[in-house]
């Protein structure tokens, strides 16, 4: 296998890929730049690409296919940034990543606790030496009803970890997980939204889940409720979220992902004017936490992402199946 890796981080992903290449005996080249029409030639001679959450539209896929690329793997669980249908039409096989669910689950619960205890407000006021207690009172997680939307690997792990806090746990998923029968109570989406103090999203970024949470759903939620999203930005209608926060229909939100974040994260943008007004607006609210899509970012998860996608590409080029293939 001749692999070319785009947007590879030299401080964490590169050592893992080097180790895998030494173990499996393949060669690779890489760049820290994202793939685009201007740097396509960097992949000359390769037959597979490793990418991250950058857009791969039909036009770019055509260019890589003409170059000889036959397989692409994204080092992320989500793959909605790739035009998979067009890739398949070209005969290109696509894979996504898998990694242990504990990292995202831990981060999700951290966001819950930060939102419940008004951590953003407390720390910002602490920085200007305002040590007054007014407006900073929090709530305990054990007193809350938590609604989990999506009980796949990560949602199930969140449920297991939450069980230690003593809170009531509701869940909604079209395909309930029988292993959680003693941990959660499955219910309808509307019933979950109406009863929950915290609503946490762990549904996949599929077309049918686009704006799963919008104006209608916010109207069903308690005015004291908190929304947590460490899954995919497209699950939430951002305009409806902003309206809910500004009108007081929603108490707070803690977001590790927002809409339209492609080509935004994992780069130093400190000197840039970012083309994402909604994110800037959400960042300005004292009761909304926005972090840069890094719930996955643990040593264990990074290794899992690089390994799973590299193994998938090896399988593809050997005409084998892979559990990580996007069909």
E strand residue ranges, the chain: 2-5, 27-30, 48-51, 71-74, 93-95, 145-149, 168-172, 185-186, 198-201, 226-229, 252-255, 288-290
- Of the candidates 102, 161, 261, 325, the residue annotated as catalytic is 261
> Domain boundaries in the chain?
2-99+298-317, 102-290
User: Can you tell me which residue has the tokens 């803690």?
Assistant: 254
Q: Is 293 an active-site residue? A: yes
102-290 has CATH 3.30.365.10 classification: no
Query: What is the per-residue pLDDT across 107-148, written as a single tens digit (0 to 9) for each?
Result: 999 999 999 999 999 999 999 999 999 999 999 999 999 999
Mean pLDDT over residues 292-302, rounded?
Answer: 96
- Class of 2-99+298-317 per CATH? alpha beta
Q: Catalytic pick from 75, 279, 293, 307?
A: 293
Has 261 been annotated as catalytic? yes
Any alpha helices (H) in 68-222, and if so which ranges?
A: 84-89, 102-116, 119-127, 153-162, 189-195, 215-220
- Tell me whether residue 325 is one of the annotated catalytic residues: no
Q: Please name the residues in contact with 194: beta carbons below 8 A apart, sequence gap of 6 or more.
A: 220, 221, 222
Q: For residues 212-236, give the mean pLDDT.
A: 98
Average pLDDT for 262-286: 91
Residue 96 has pLDDT above 90, yes or no: yes
The percent of residues above 70 in pLDDT, for the chain, comes to: 100
Q: For 35-92, how does the pLDDT look when each residue is reduced to its tens digit (9 = 90+)?
A: 999 999 999 999 999 999 889 999 999 999 999 999 999 999 889 889 999 999 999 9
Reading the block at residue 173, the tokens are 């998923």
What does the buried/exposed string (b/e) look like for 210-233 if buried means 16 or more CB atoms within 10 Å of the residue's CB? Answer: ebbbbeebbebbbeebbbbbbbbb
Among 322, 317, 320, 319, which Cα is nearest to 1's? 317
Do 2-99+298-317 and 102-290 show the same overall fold? yes
Active-site residue (options: 81, 202, 232, 307): 232
**pLDDT beyond 80 at 187:** yes
Which ranges constitute the DSSP H helices of 128-197?
Answer: 153-162, 189-195
Global pTM reads 0.91
């Amino acid at each position: 296998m001749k692999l070319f890796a785009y947007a590879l981080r030299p401080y964490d992903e590169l050592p893992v890929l080097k180790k895998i290449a030494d173990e499996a005996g393949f060669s690779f080249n890489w760049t820290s730049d994202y793939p685009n029409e201007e740097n396509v030639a960097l992949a000359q001679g390769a037959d597979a690409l490793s990418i991250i959450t950058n857009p791969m539209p039909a036009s770019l896929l055509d260019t890589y296919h003409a170059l000889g690329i036959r397989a692409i793997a994204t080092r992320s669980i989500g793959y909605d940034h790739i035009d998979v249908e067009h890739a398949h039409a070209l005969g290109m096989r696509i894979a996504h990543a898998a990694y242990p669910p504990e990292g995202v689950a831990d981060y999700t619960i951290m966001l819950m606790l930060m939102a419940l205890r008004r951590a953003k407000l407390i720390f910002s006021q602490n920085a200007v030496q305002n040590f007054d207690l007014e407006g900073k009172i929090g709530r305990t997680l054990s007193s809350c009803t938590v609604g989990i939307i999506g009980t796949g690997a990560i949602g199930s792990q969140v449920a297991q970890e939450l069980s230690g806090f003593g809170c009531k746990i509701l869940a909604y998923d079209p395909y309930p997980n029988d292993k959680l029968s003693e941990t959660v109570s499955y219910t309808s989406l509307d019933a979950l939204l109406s009863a929950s103090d915290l609503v946490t999203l762990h549904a996949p970024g599929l077309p049918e889940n686009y704006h799963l949470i919008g104006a209608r759903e916010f109207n069903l939620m308690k005015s004291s409720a908190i929304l947590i999203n460490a899954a995919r930005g497209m699950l939430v209608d951002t305009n409806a979220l902003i309206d809910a926060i500004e009108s007081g229909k929603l108490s707070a939100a803690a977001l590790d992902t927002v809409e339209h974040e492609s080509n935004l994260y994992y780069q130093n943008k400190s000197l840039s004017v970012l083309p994402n007004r909604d994110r800037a607006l959400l960042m300005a609210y004292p009761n909304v936490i926005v972090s840069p899509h890094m719930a996955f970012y643990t040593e264990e998860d990074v290794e899992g992402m690089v390994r799973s996608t590299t193994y998938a590409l090896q399988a593809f080029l050997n005409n084998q199946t892979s559990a990580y293939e996007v069909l």
